[in-house]
C-alpha cells in the first residue's frame, strides 16, 4: 500500500456541486498539505495542517475548506465547484522536524474536472 | 517571499548524454531542497533531498548539488535513458514563514532513443 493514498483518483463533477477529496497516510507524520497543480503555474499550496487542531490557509484557499479528521486523514472540500478549480490535486505529508528534514511525501494525485 | 525558478522549461537530448537541470531560489535561508520526478498526469516521486548543510547528494545516475549562498542547485543525470523522460521539479523549504515547500515550475525532459 502507498504511504499517502488519495481518493478518488479521477473525478468529473458539475459546476455548483460539493465534492470532497480524501487523503490518508501511513507515514505517521504530523503535518499534512493540499496542493493543486495547473499547467504553467506549478504546484500551489491550498491548506496545511501541522496537527489535528492546527489548520492554516495556504496561498490559494478561497473556494476550498479542509478537515483533519485524525492524524492520518486530511480531506479537502470544494463547497460549490467551479470550472477554474479543474486541476490535479496532491496531498503531501512531512514530519514535525524543523524544515521537514526527512522531506515531503506526496500522494498520486486526484484529477478533478469541473464541467 | 521565496521564489524558485527552473531553467530550461523544456529540454530534449539524445539517449546516452549527460545533462544538467538548473534550479535557483531567491532566499538562501533554507532548511533543505528536494528534487522530484513527475511522469505525465502522475504523482511526485522524490529523487534526492539535500539539507542546507550539505553540498551534494547522489543516487545511482543522479547527482544533486546545492550552493546555498548563491541560491542554486543542479541535478546531474548521467548516461540518460528514454525512461528518464519526465518533468523534474525542485522545491525548497524556507526558514522564514511556516516552513512550507515552495516549488519551481519544472523542467520537462525528453530523452530521444
Determine the pLDDT at residue A1. 65
pLDDT in tens, B1-17: 899 999 999 999 999 99
Separation between Cα atoms, residue A35 and residue A83, nearest integer Å: 17
When scoring A87, A100, A109, A110 by the number of chain B Cβ atoms within 10 A, the one with the most, hence best to mutate, is A100
Cβ atoms A51, A30 nearer than 8 A: yes
Put simply, the chain B residues between 67 and 106 with a CB less than 8 A from any chain A CB are 89, 91, 93, 95, 98-101, 103-106
Q: What was the pLDDT predicted at A115? A: 96
CA–CA distance from B5 to each of B72, B76, B95, B107 (Å)? 10, 17, 18, 10
Alpha carbon B65 to its chain's center:
9
Say whether A100 and B101 touch across the interface (CB within 8 A). yes
Chain B: give the shortest CA distance to residue A18, in Å: 24
- A8 preceded by cis ω (within 30°)? yes
Query: How many angstroms separate the CA of residue B53 from the nearest CA in chain A?
Result: 11
Pick from A4, A63, A62: nearest CA to A33: A4
How far apart CA A79 and CA B14 sit, in angstroms, is: 47
Q: Out of A41, A101, A108, whose CB is closest to B43?
A: A108
B82: three-class secondary structure by DSSP:
helix
Cite the beta strand spans of chain A per DSSP E: 4-7, 10-13, 19-25, 31-38, 42-51, 54-57, 64-70, 73-78, 87-94, 105-106, 110-114
Whole-number Å distance between alpha carbons of B113 and B101: 34
Check CB contact under 8 Å for A43 and B34: no
A100/B46 touch (CB, cutoff 8 Å), yes or no? no
d(CA B107, CA B90): 9
Chain B: closest CA distance from residue A16 (Å)? 25
pLDDT for A53: 92
Nearest to residue A26, comparing CAs of A46, A6, A9, A11?
A6
Q: What digits encode the pLDDT tens for the residues B65-92?
A: 999 999 999 999 999 999 999 999 999 9
| Chain A partners within 8 Å of B103 (Cβ) | 42-43
Indicate yes or no: CB of A99 within 8 angstroms of CB of B36.
no
Which of B44, B95, B104 has the CB atom closest to A90's CB atom?
B44
**Are the C-beta atoms of residues A46 and A61 closer than 8 Å to each other?**
yes
pLDDT at position B97 over 90: no
Q: What is the pLDDT of residues A36-87, one digit of tens each?
A: 999 877 899 999 999 999 999 999 999 999 999 999 999 999 999 999 999 9
Amino acid at each position: 500500500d502507498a504511504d499517502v493514498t488519495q481518493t478518488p483518483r479521477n473525478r468529473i463533477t458539475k459546476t455548483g456541486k460539493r465534492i470532497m477529496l480524501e487523503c490518508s497516510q501511513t507515514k505517521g507524520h504530523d503535518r499534512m498539505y493540499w496542493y493543486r497543480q495547473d499547467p504553467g503555474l506549478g504546484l500551489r499550496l491550498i491548506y496545511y495542517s501541522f496537527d489535528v487542531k492546527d489548520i492554516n490557509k495556504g496561498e490559494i484557499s478561497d473556494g476550498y475548506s479542509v478537515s483533519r479528521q485524525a492524524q492520518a486523514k486530511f480531506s479537502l472540500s470544494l463547497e460549490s465547484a467551479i470550472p477554474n478549480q479543474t486541476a490535479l490535486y496532491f496531498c503531501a505529508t512531512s514530519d514535525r522536524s524543523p524544515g521537514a528534514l526527512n522531506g515531503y511525501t506526496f500522494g498520486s494525485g486526484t484529477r478533478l474536472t469541473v464541467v | 517571499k521565496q521564489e524558485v525558478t527552473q531553467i530550461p522549461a523544456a529540454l530534449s537530448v539524445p539517449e546516452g548524454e549527460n545533462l544538467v537541470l538548473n534550479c535557483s531560489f531567491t532566499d538562501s535561508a533554507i532548511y533543505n531542497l528536494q528534487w522530484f520526478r513527475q511522469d505525465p498526469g502522475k504523482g511526485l516521486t522524490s529523487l534526492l533531498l539535500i539539507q542546507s548543510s550539505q553540498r551534494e547528494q547522489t543516487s545511482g545516475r543522479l547527482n544533486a548539488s546545492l550552493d546555498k549562498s548563491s541560491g542554486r542547485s543542479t541535478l546531474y543525470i548521467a548516461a540518460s535513458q528514454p525512461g528518464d523522460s519526465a518533468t523534474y521539479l525542485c522545491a525548497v523549504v524556507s526558514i522564514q514563514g511556516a516552513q512550507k515547500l515552495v516549488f519551481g515550475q519544472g523542467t520537462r525532459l525528453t530523452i530521444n532513443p
